[in-house]
Structure 1
């Protein structure tokens, strides 16, 4: 079968398509004939440390397709089921997916939409619900709201009854996201949002901040957080890995700062809250309260072009790779 591999050489990533043997599912895995897989920026950002320098590895982190074979100990799934889930090596024709990660695709979703759900919306569920404790009518500030995680956070927050402020350097992208419920669009890159955030929240500040940008917006975000506010660090595409921390604000406002990453978690830890995700988020996707936004689907042999689109920030929502089925 065909599979994409990537290695880091210096400060660049190099893609390669390989012909490898089709994987055999382990006892607690399913073999999925993939129809689509989505791109995630963190996999291509060298600073995120997901790839060792000079060492090639199969890439792709989430996908959707049809089960072709079951491991000997798998229960509750069958051959022919349409599933979506997190799995290693998803930019391929087939992948072995842990059965615990495999979720039945709601009938309302295409394979392309389904491929954009597992990793991205699980991250969003972690930062908004599990750690962020977002409540109805609270204010959420999303930096980089047009990214895949940003759009998913916007859609999920609106389904939860929250109000959303989103930053982006593109007025066109913000205009598109108004259609998805964005309450307050802020057209800017980097700093300059504090005054508006404090004004629209009537001087109280944001209850939850989602930072997909990095250290360049950290200090100002802390300044415009509400009492008992929460801050989710998701990514650092700006490359700024350090920032000033106002300890007085942290102390007096009783702020909570947390990271959202699966890099150091075991498979069991990553899967721990899947039941809550299936109960809280999947029904909202199935009935249309949350609609995964796919900006563009590329053919399987166009991963390089898809990666270039992501790296030049031309998209709103998710970019998907479509398999040759």
Structure 2
């Protein structure tokens, strides 16, 4: 896995074309009251001494891409993660070679969700107390399914929550011990019952849509940690501070976009050391629900906006290929 250092690294190269001075790309086009992505022919980026150039085969779509398309300036290629083949390396790059298959987190599939999930779980498990129980909110989405697998790999007992009992099978498939519908009025009581009737030791929440219920699920005086990955669901929140104090709950918020390159590289090192072997052995696998050619990006964006996907959404760099002909390999 490699950390790319510039939006240039996300320029979407047509994998069927040889390396040249030009390439196809999907870039932001500013309109009167909105922004869209359009296909253009752009100049091939010139890499710096510490960079690599990736011939992109696929990119993962994330919520932040919706924001990027709406707010970025004309000509920017949005995106947080990609996979492909290294086409060229800078003079100071010694750990990667031309022709190697890589996945990368990018400035601004698997890499972004893996980094966020691992970063949170490592922080949650710093004390390494045995027999911990973790509540993973939104367990059926792309980050949730990875987090369930990572947590089981690290020895946690996993309770996964979803917005519907119809999604319990997805969470169980990826290793959850118990599932709970978080729309129920007795959600916290049900979680506590499944957590040895004392409450959970850890909570991992993607979006923090209901911080109060997370606190209510925690055990008392257990040095409990709630880790929030991204704040897209919590612009503001009212919580009962007396319960927070009584249960001795610590709340942490993590993201990668605001971090510098050195920090991102350290997270990558953690992944390669602790969890990449499990990925290579297919003990941990990404849940991919949709694949579209990059020219059909709007379909992916519409699914993201509905907030009901149960896995990753992938855009493949097949500019001339429709979605019916894409292979699910």
Q: Answer yes or no: same fold by TM over 0.5.
A: yes
Distance 1:155 1:135, change over 3 A: farther
Rounded to whole Å, the distance in 1 between the matches of 2:33 and 2:176 is 36
Q: 1:181 aligns with which of 159, 164, 175?
A: 175
Q: For residue 20 of structure 1, what is the aligned residue in structure 2?
A: 42
Q: Aligned match of 2:92 in 56, 73, 78?
A: 73
Number of aligned pairs? 293
Q: Report the equivalent of 2:197.
A: 203
**5 Å matches for 1:118-137?**
118-133=111-126, 136-137=130-131
* 1:22-101 mapped onto 2 (5 Å cutoff): 22-44=44-66, 46=67, 53=71, 55-56=73-74, 57-88=76-107
Does 2:249 match 1:255? yes
Residues 213 and 8 of structure 1: CA distance in aligned 2, closer, same or farther (over 3 Å): farther
Could you tell me which runs of 5 or more consecutive residues in structure 2 were left unpaired when the two chains were aligned. 1-22, 320-329
Residues 135 and 161 in structure 1, CA contact (< 8 A), matched pair in contact too? no
Normalised TM-score (structure 1)? 0.82
- Aligned-residue CA RMSD (Å): 2.5
Structure 2: how far apart are the matches of 1:273 and 1:199? 35
Q: 4+ residue runs of structure 1 moved beyond 4 angstroms?
A: 7-13
Q: Any conservation in 2 of the 1:27–1:71 contact (CA below 8 Å)?
A: yes
What TM-score, normalized by structure 2, do the two folds share? Answer: 0.81
Shift, 1:188, TM fit: 3.7
Residue of structure 1 equivalent to 2:302: 308
Would the alpha carbon gap of residues 11 and 177 (structure 1) be closer, same or farther in structure 2, given more than 3 Å must change? Answer: farther
| Matched position secondary structure for 2:43 | coil
Q: CA deviation at 1:221?
A: 0.9
Q: Is the 8 A contact 1:165 1:186 kept in 2?
A: yes
Q: Contact (CA 8 Å) 1:191, 1:220: kept in 2 or not?
A: no
Pair member with larger Rg: 2
User: What SS does the corresponding residue of 2:114 show, helix, strand or coil?
Assistant: helix
1:252-280 deviations in whole A, cap 9, x for unaligned?
33221111112321111221232222110
1:106 equivalent in structure 2: none
CA drift at 1:150 = 1.0
SS of aligned partner of 1:228: coil
Is residue 285 of structure 2 the alignment partner of residue 267 of structure 1?
no
